[in-house]
Structure formats: C-alpha cells, structure tokens
Amino acid sequence: MRLNNYSSGRNAEYMIKKILLSRGYVHIVRSAGSHTPIDLMASNGRRLLAIQVKKGRYISAEEKGLLIQWARAFKASPVLARKEDGRWVFHQLMGRTAHKQIQI
C-alpha cells in the first residue's frame, strides 16, 4: 500500500520523535497539519530545537529562512532533519545557505 504525502510526512515526524526520545528529548510537541515551518519542537531541558522534517533532500532558501525566523521567535535552534542514504541526519541551519551537521 502506498502512503499519501500526509501519511508519509506524519510517519517521518513520528520516526524523528522516536529518535529524539531515545536521545533524551522528553518534551516533544508535534505541529500536526499546521503547514508551518516547524514540524516538531523538542527539549531535553538544556536545548530547545525547532525541527523541520524533510524526506527529500531539497529545501528552498525561503523555507530555510522561515524556519530560522520561527525558531528565533521561540529562542530555539533551527534544525532540519532529513533522510540521507537511508538514515536520518540533523543539520543546524546557520543561514539560508549555511548549515552544519549536528548530533542530537
């Protein structure tokens, strides 16, 4: 059975939530169906992350800019979680074009 885009995206968000829980992020909020730049907010008590989950590799400069802007509003680190070579990788956005891979 093939999943529609909503179900596929939701499943990806739940996978990221599972990864975050396993790494000590116990406060996680999912922004279901909101169409905002932030899919998940997560905190481990020391660090607050505003996360956009992408199954594909492409995210536009505009999307990056909005994620950064929204993350700043919440005093959170803007993070892009995306699947690369079959595994989930996390990138902290430093600007519309700059980012660095981080360990969560």
34 in active site: yes
Query: What is the rounded distance in angstroms from the CA atom of residue 54 to the CA atom of residue 60?
Result: 11
Number of C-beta neighbours around residue 40 at 10 A: 21
Kindly give the pairing relationship between strand 77-84 and strand 48-54.
parallel
Q: Give the C-alpha separation, 49 to 104, whole Å.
A: 10
Residue from 8, 31, 34, 77 carrying the catalytic annotation = 34
Distance of alpha carbon 36 from alpha carbon 31, whole angstroms: 8
Q: Which residues are catalytic?
A: 34
